[in-house]
Structure 1
Amino acid sequence: MASPGIELGAALRAWRERVTPVEAGLPSGGDRRVPGLRREELALLVGISVDYLIRLEQGRATNPSPQVLGALARALRLGSGERELLYRLAGAVPPPSGSVPRGVPRGVQLMIDRMSDTPLTVFTAAWDTVQWNPLWAELLGDPAALDARARNLIWRYFATEQVSGSRVERDAAQADAFEREMVADLRRAADRYPDDRAVAELAAALREVNPRFAELWSRYEAAPNSPSRKTVVHPELGPITLDCDVLTIDGSDLRIVLYSAEPGTRDAELLDELRARATTGGRRLAATT
């Protein structure tokens, strides 16, 4: 297995060779033997010596400073996923940045638009509702009827549903697992986006209103999301047991939650009935504003 230094060097060379001088704001320089930036050009953009860049690319220099890594990421025009990879290969922790993303990439939007026959919603990394389709609204209730704060799944669960109830039926073990996952996810969002005041305020408000949330928050647990089966108690059709999957979109930290039923079951028939209702309603994918 290649050493971390060798892996970092190979990545730097690959990224350098794909960036053109024009993209980097430099003159093209006429005929070039290799595509992309020369070492001298990248070193100039980053503010390091050519010798140091050569040692980085050859795996002979280790532990570049956060300042150098940040300058390399900017000069090489790395996306968020590549930026995180750069830091990991250098043995460093990627610095947090900005606010929790809410925008849905075009390719992801096209994908979810084609999934109208599946109850589906899009959440941010902090579990704010971004979009939902008509079938989701039929199954779990229309988020449009909720105020802005209640459209956050974690707030709704810990601050309102434990009083008013939820359509999702959970036994004690399922509730414990769900609560731990949600609190761990919100802590990750708070750690990753420390400049997002809304996330910090949400966590603070939940610690005030719910002792269970406050207790879980103090544990600093990491609880990964996992596929599960959930029973949704529809007000007219009764219990519907469905598989629940969570897809995470790299680079945007969005989560797509979708439900599905085992073919040939009574649950699948009930989901078909909800599809008919959603289609009759003629509603398109909704989005928060």
Structure 2
Amino acid sequence: MDKVALRYLLRERRALISPESHGLSRPTRQGRRAPGLSQAQVDQLLHRAPDTYGRLESGRYPNPPVDLLEDVARLLGMNEHEWVALWRYALGQDPPHPLHAHAGEAVPGTWRLALDGISHMAYVSDRSWNMLAYNEPFTGLFPDRRVPSNIMRWMAVEPEARSVLRHWETAWAPLVLPQLRAAIAADPEDPTLCGIEKEVLDDPSAARVYESASAYVHPDGGERPVRHALHGPGWVTLCAAQPMTAPRARLLILPFHPGERRPCGRPAPLRAHG
């Protein structure tokens, strides 16, 4: 537990919530000058015993329960990045799930500017693989330059993908479809993912791979063979990242290497020296 960081995080967020916005009056007792909700008001709004929140903010609450952290984070209007910080400061670990049900459905619009500044093929998708934004080089991968609205569905069941993604059944499907399965396990009510799963199970080739899917393999750093619509056969390196405020959304940067054969050698891992 990092008591100092926890106190600063909670105090700063609490100061931004006006009592009036919850139908409460601002305390007027002598010595009460701090803005925002009082600690007692937080307990009142969360229907907790007196000093429950005070113990949390001061670091006197070892191993606070998940439901308390969730209630506090929602009351104080935390975003996903602050939710992660709360867990790390209070419990020394990352949270088991996002705070908000719709987390990962939207990313800041500034990511479009970032994509436009990347020379390699690149795109941003939401947690269900719906395409949110992509750059001009990425359109060149597709025969008609039409980027699919859902990249997972395209990779899993679209006939066009099986010509663009060379050796689809051995090089792509065994690594793509376990990602779908893992996403559904994490969010079984997602209608987009469930719809893709149904199409996969209706496709004999995809279903065969999906039903025997191995452990989830993250694509970051992998190399896959493709047939680029403009540059012919080659390989893409999958560089994957996640916007910090959008859990399960993803940024993919895809450097392209022309040629039938896999590029020789991999760059050394990046490590700080000294």
Same fold flag (TM > 0.5): yes
Alignment RMSD: 3.5
**SS in structure 2 at match of 1:186:** helix
What is the alpha-carbon distance in structure 1 between the residues aligned to residue 102 and residue 197 of structure 2? 15
Distance 1:137 1:251 in 2: 26
Q: Is the 8 A contact 2:70 2:99 kept in 1?
A: no
Q: 2:237 maps to which residue?
A: 243
The counterpart of 1:157, out of the listed 143, 155, 158, is 155
Aligned residue for 1:286? none
Question: Deviations 1:178-219 (Å, cap 9, x if unpaired)?
Answer: 434433432343244344222223223323322211221xx5
Q: Distance in 1 between matches of 2:225 and 2:98?
A: 39
Matched, 1:207 2:204: no
Aligned counterpart for 1:260 among listed residues 245, 255, 260: 255
Match of 1:16 in 2: 10
Letter in 2 for 1:155: R
Which amino acid is the alignment partner of residue 260 of structure 1? P
The answer on 1:166 being equivalent to 2:163 is yes
8 A Cα contact 1:121 1:132, kept in partner: yes
Q: Counterpart of 2:192 in structure 1: which amino acid?
A: A
- State which of 114, 128, 131 in structure 2 corresponds to 1:129: 131
**Which blocks of at least 5 consecutive residues in structure 1 are unaligned?**
1-5, 268-289
Question: 1:80-117 deviations in whole A, cap 9, x for unaligned?
Answer: 232245456447733675357443312322222333x3
Q: Give me the whole-angstrom Cα distance separating, in 2, the residues matched to 1:11 and 1:124.
A: 31
Contact 1:39 1:54 in 2 (8 A): yes
Counterpart amino acid of residue 134 in structure 1: E
The question of 1:105 aligning with 2:99 is answered no
Partner residue, 1:284: none
Cα–Cα, structure 1 residues 56 and 20, in superposed 2: closer, same or farther, change >3 Å?
closer
Deviation for aligned residue 1:10: 4.4
Kept after mapping to 2: 8 A contact 1:102/1:130: no
Give the TM-score of the pair, scaled to structure 2. 0.70
Distance 1:171 1:189 in 2: 21
1:225 & 1:164 partners in 2: Cα distance?
A: 17
Asked if structure 1 preserves the Cα contact closer than 8 Å seen for 2:178 and 2:210, the reply is no
What is the letter of the counterpart of residue 154 of structure 1? M
Q: Which amino acid aligns with 1:256?
A: L
Question: For 2:184, which of 190, 193, 202 is the aligned residue?
Answer: 190
Q: How far does the alpha carbon of each residue in 1:140-160 deviate from its partner, in whole angstroms, 9 at most, with x for none?
A: 3456375xxxx4333323323
- Mapped to 2, the partners of 1:157 and 1:183 lie a distance apart of 9
Report the Cα offset of residue 55 of structure 1: 3.3
Q: 1:241 to 1:188 in 2, by over 3 A?
A: closer
- DSSP-derived class of the 1:249 partner: coil
3-state SS of 1:18 partner? helix
CA contact (8 A) 1:17 1:34 kept: no
Tell me the residue number matched to 2:146: 144
Counterparts of 1:205 and 1:96, CA distance in 2: 30
Q: Secondary structure at the match of 2:211?
A: helix
Contact 1:119-1:133 within 8 A present in 2 as well: yes
The equivalent of 2:96 in structure 1 is 93
What is the alpha-carbon distance in structure 1 between the residues aligned to residue 38 and residue 83 of structure 2? Answer: 20
